Amino acid sequence: MVDVSGKAVTPREATAECRVRFPADVAVQLRASGLKSAKGGIVETAIIAGTMAVKRTHELIPFCHPLPIEGCRISVEWAGERDLRIECMVRTTHRTGVEMEALTGANIAALTVYDMCKALSHRIVIGPAKLLGKRGGRRDFGQG
Residue 57: which H helix or E strand, with range?
helix 57-60
Task: Residue 124: count other Cβ atoms within 10 Å of its Cβ.
Answer: 20
Catalytic residues: 115
* Separation between Cα atoms, residue 20 and residue 18, nearest integer Å: 7
Phi, psi of 136 (to 5 degrees): 100, 160
Is residue 121 classed as helix, strand or coil in its secondary structure? coil
